[in-house]
């Protein structure tokens, strides 16, 4: 089933399976590549924490009644600087995130730290999909594994990837595609303690945590009370979760 939510400009797809196939990166003209590199270099000067690591972009999305077919391409973060090049085309990004409920039904949302590319933004724990290495496959199991890894790295919550259920797929700003997984509920005290411990561990290693705050929200109204920018998918996902039967 597909539902478009006009207020946020987000499409939500309810699917049971995701089938993935690798595709070739579209060619980029010399002019666009040079402009992309200039934009990227300026961004790194403004925020030296940015890095040009390998990521996966979405080359195509075909939603069906129960199955979503997704083609993907190996790129690096530099690729998305094409969004700021007039006339150039950047592929949509592909990311995973996790709905981590408290045992009272509220949802954990987290705020990005000042050192990130989107400082102060509220979002679900998650991150960009990374390409497989050493001949491994990018499949449903690998995606769930990356979602579980993001959850433990960002908020300290360790869950087996097998316990994560693909709950919804979103398509939003820049046509970016997000695969949202649902984790088993945990007590509020556990969520806050693990988040605090994960942040302390990062600082002990001399690194700034990617997330610098968390909140538990029960409804879109409570979400709207959080100051600062919000990820475009966040309100529709929280609304869908809070209204589930």
Task: Quote the pLDDT of residue 25.
Answer: 92
Q: Is 40 buried (19+), middle (13-18) or exposed (0-12) by CB count in 10 A?
A: buried
pTM of the complete model: 0.93
Task: Quote the pLDDT of residue 126.
Answer: 96
The answer to whether 180 touches 237, Cβ cutoff 8 Å, is yes
User: Where does 2-242 sit in CATH, by number?
Assistant: 3.90.79.10
Measure the CA–CA gap between 234 and 118, rounded to whole angstroms: 14
The answer to whether 181 touches 97, Cβ cutoff 8 Å, is yes
Task: Quote the pLDDT of residue 141.
Answer: 95
Which sequence spans correspond to the domains of the chain? 2-242
Task: Quote the pLDDT of residue 65.
Answer: 87
DSSP string, 193-209: HHHHHHHHHHHHTT---
Per-block mean pLDDT, blocks of 10 residues, the chain (245 long): 50 94 95 98 91 96 92 97 96 97 97 90 97 93 97 95 96 93 97 95 91 96 96 96 77
């Amino acid at each position: 089933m597909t539902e478009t939510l006009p207020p946020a400009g987000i499409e939500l797809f309810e699917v049971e399976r995701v089938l993935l196939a690798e595709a070739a990166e579209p060619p980029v003209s010399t002019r666009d590549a040079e402009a992309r590199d200039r934009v990227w270099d300026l961004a790194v000067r403004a925020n030296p924490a940015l890095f040009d690591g390998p990521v996966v972009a979405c080359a195509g999305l075909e939603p069906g009644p129960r199955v979503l077919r997704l083609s993907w391409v190996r790129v690096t973060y530099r690729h998305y600087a094409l969004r700021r090049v007039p006339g150039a085309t950047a592929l949509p990004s592909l990311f995973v995130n996790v709905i981590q409920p408290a045992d009272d039904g509220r949802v954990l949302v987290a705020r990005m730290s000042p050192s990130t590319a989107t400082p102060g933004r509220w979002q679900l724990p998650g991150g960009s999909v990374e390409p497989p290495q050493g001949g491994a496959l990018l499949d449903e199991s690998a995606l769930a594994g990356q979602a579980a890894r993001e959850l433990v790295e960002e908020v300290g919550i360790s869950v087996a990837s097998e316990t994560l259920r693909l709950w919804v797929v979103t398509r939003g700003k820049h046509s970016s595609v997000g695969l949202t997984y649902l984790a088993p509920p945990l007590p509020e005290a556990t969520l806050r303690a693990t988040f605090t411990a994960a942040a302390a561990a990062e600082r002990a290693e001399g690194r700034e945590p990617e997330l610098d705050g968390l909140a538990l929200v029960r409804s879109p109204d409570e979400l709207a009370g959080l100051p600062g920018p919000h990820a475009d998918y966040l309100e529709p996902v929280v609304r869908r979760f809070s209204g589930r039967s």
